[in-house]
Chain A
Amino acid sequence: MSSPSATLVAGEAAVAADSPRQPRSPRRNSARFFPLWLLTPAGIVMIALVIVPIAFLLFTSFTDYDQRSLFTGEFSIVGFQQYVTIFTDPDFWWAIIRTILFTAAMVLGTIAIGMGISQLLTRLGTTMKYILTIVLVFAWAMPTVASSQIWNWLFQPGYGVVNWMLTQLHIFGDMTNAAWANNAFLAYTCIWLLIVWGGVPFIALTMYAAQSQVDPAYIEAARLDGASEARIYWTIVLRFLKPTLLLVTILSVIWDFNVFNQIWLVSQGGPNNATSTIGIWAYKTAFVSTHVGTGAAITVVATIMLLALTGLYIRNLLKSGEEL
């Protein structure tokens, strides 16, 4: 994992200075190995519970591990058969297309509304800003299991308050008995609202924090030159926000790609798998129909898809000034 060539950042100068007077070797050795001792417990846990499982996931995707294996521990290696199974299954490709489109819809909604709110926050008086921030933090802090249950109640056929409100609007006709989870489009709308509701606060507050770092002198100068507010936002504010915006966008893509609880608790991936994103599909395959090997293969594909994004995220994190 790491070599014994460790040196203290802080102590290097001091050690060098007093080394002639000190008994040299024990001190140097303890300093060398000290960070390794510190890393060992966490390292063991990470290797045993993260690295080995990932390797084991890869291995499982080459086996026919299923319900029988869970009880007997017996399984056999089947090579690429699981991958052939999923790649020849049109449902798999649909799940991928669905995941990409739904992720795009969620990220666009979250970022657009979040940016709007962060811009709005800069124009509010103290009291209103405080109220809106507190409200956002409330939504942010709601556990997803609880917010999913609230959504089930808000959108409940017959008694849901959203159904009632939509009926009162007289635009969509009588929505009182609309069963949101039983119609693909309605299910997507309902889950989209849930995820955007929960995701906007992070974007809005992070972008607001970034926006308050923009030097007002630039904006003031542009205003003096007669630039319109929209023009100032596009050419000055957005330019400063770009690194932050890029980071939160990548994070949102990764999070929304991985969304599980909200979809599972609102629609169970139904109706007819219409809301089964790749994560839901992998879970169903591995744990509901207990084709663990196939589920592992799907997860490996999903992980590889995310890996590129994660790489992009880390690169941008480093570029934005974070040092490793």
Chain B
Amino acid sequence: MSTVTEPVGAPVLEEVPARPVAARKRRRRRPRIVSNVVAIVLSVIWVFPVYWMVNTAFKPRYEVMTPTPMFFPQHPTFSNFVAAATESTFLVNLRNSLIVVVGTLIFAIVLGALASAALSRFRFRGRKLILVVVLAVQMLPGTALLIPQFVVFNQMGLTNNYFGLILAYVAATLPFTIWVMRGFFVAIPVEIEEAARVDGATNWQILWRVLFPLVTPGIIASSIFAFIAAWNDYLVAYTFMNDQSMYTLPVWLATFTTPTTGTDFGGLMAASVLFSLPVVIFFVIIQRNLVSGMSAGAVKG
């Protein structure tokens, strides 16, 4: 299903004489060291911001603000996490995030599964146009849907409201949900469907008993994308939700201050850890199964 990792068909070459290859392989051993050094340097650079977040989060305040940065916490403490979770509206905002994300998932997955089944297992006029629209919608600038949705939702009293935010997220996630799941549907051999039909199954039975169970990996993959998109969104939530009690976690993090300490980077980094690390670790665990779907769906994590 992946679009980007298309296997390249190549004619089989005749077997090459073995000796010169071995000689050259020996010559190529040396660059390994250079490659490894470069790889280590790059790994350190790329991991450093994440490390610095975790490092700062565990430092007491007097170790955070030092003229010479301390690369390891001398007196590791959980006080920043406690402060971030209890002295702010973390729990309320966490609840808001969960409500909105779960609501979005339910809508996007149910609607996406039905639509992608139609767009992959059937041929009808207008199908290609729909698919082009689905792809194109994902490329719109952020404000293209935000401005009209905000104006209309504002008139309808749907701003500062869970349902309004859920609707905005469904609009944003449905296109790639359809696209990703469609890839999984297309991969199912036609013969399976034919066999069920010969046995007398109706359209609905084929869908429920044959196709949906087979695309479960696709449903999981697109749920994860939709989850990440809704969980991470800042722009829409920041625009729609006016009251702090209605903020989702990204807005909470972007406006983070604790009443006792003001701009407190230990607290801010602890808050960043609370918000991002569960998702990041989950993503690292499952990413192997996602890379192909990710590139096919043109989704940025």
Contact string against A for B residues 31-53, beta-carbon threshold 8 Å, 1 for contact and 0 otherwise: 11001101110110011011011
Contact B170 A49 (CB under 8 A): yes
Distance in angstroms between the alpha carbons of A264 and B239 in the assembled complex: 13
Contact A7 B122 (CB under 8 A): yes
Q: Tell me which residues from 197 to 212 in chain A have a Cβ below 8 Å from any Cβ of chain B.
A: 197, 200-202, 205-206, 209-210
CB within 8 A of A215: which of B10, B194, B292? B10
> Does A142 sit within 8 A of B, measured CB to CB?
yes
CB within 8 A of B139: which of A128, A247, A306? A306
Contact A42 B121 (CB under 8 A): no
Scoring A39, A209, A215 by chain B CB atoms within 10 A of each residue's CB, the highest score goes to A39
Contact A34 B42 (CB under 8 A): no
Contact B122 A41 (CB under 8 A): no
Contact A49 B171 (CB under 8 A): yes
**Size bin of chain B's contact surface:** 35 or more
Q: Contacting chain B: which of A81-89, A100-108, A183-191, A307-315? A: A307-315
Q: A50-B175, A132-B42 are in contact. List 19 more A-B contacts (CB 8 A).
A: A10-B121, A11-B193, A11-B197, A15-B197, A35-B118, A42-B115, A46-B137, A49-B171, A139-B50, A141-B283, A142-B50, A145-B275, A153-B53, A200-B46, A210-B6, A213-B8, A218-B10, A257-B141, A299-B147
Distance in angstroms between the alpha carbons of A247 and B296 in the assembled complex: 11
Contact A42 B112 (CB under 8 A): yes
Given A143-B276, A150-B52, answer yes or no on A73-B127 (Cβ-Cβ < 8 Å).
no
Q: Which B residues lie within 8 Å of A70 (CB)?
A: 151, 154
Q: Which B residues lie within 8 Å of A94 (CB)?
A: none
CB within 8 A of B38: which of A120, A210, A244? A120
Contact A150 B119 (CB under 8 A): no
> Does A171 sit within 8 A of B, measured CB to CB?
no
Scoring B53, B56, B276 by chain A CB atoms within 10 A of each residue's CB, the highest score goes to B276
Contact string against B for A residues 1-42, beta-carbon threshold 8 Å, 1 for contact and 0 otherwise: 111111111110111000000000000001100111011011
Q: Which A residues lie within 8 Å of B119 (CB)?
A: 35, 39
Q: Which A residues lie within 8 Å of B241 (CB)?
A: none
Chain B interface, >50% SS class = helix
Contact string against B for A residues 70-81, beta-carbon threshold 8 Å, 1 for contact and 0 otherwise: 100100000000
Q: Which A residues lie within 8 Å of B6 (CB)?
A: 210, 213, 243-244, 320-321
Q: Which A residues lie within 8 Å of B56 (CB)?
A: 153
Given A150-B52, A314-B136, answer yes or no on A57-B147 (Cβ-Cβ < 8 Å).
yes
Q: Which B residues lie within 8 Å of A50 (CB)?
A: 137, 145, 171, 175
Q: Which A residues lie within 8 Å of B13 (CB)?
A: 217-218, 220-221
> Does B135 sit within 8 A of A, measured CB to CB?
yes
Contact B114 A117 (CB under 8 A): no
> Does A93 sit within 8 A of B, measured CB to CB?
no
> Does B91 sit within 8 A of A, measured CB to CB?
no
Given A53-B145, A151-B49, answer yes or no on A309-B139 (Cβ-Cβ < 8 Å).
yes
Given A1-B126, A128-B39, A215-B8, answer yes or no on A141-B301 (Cβ-Cβ < 8 Å).
yes
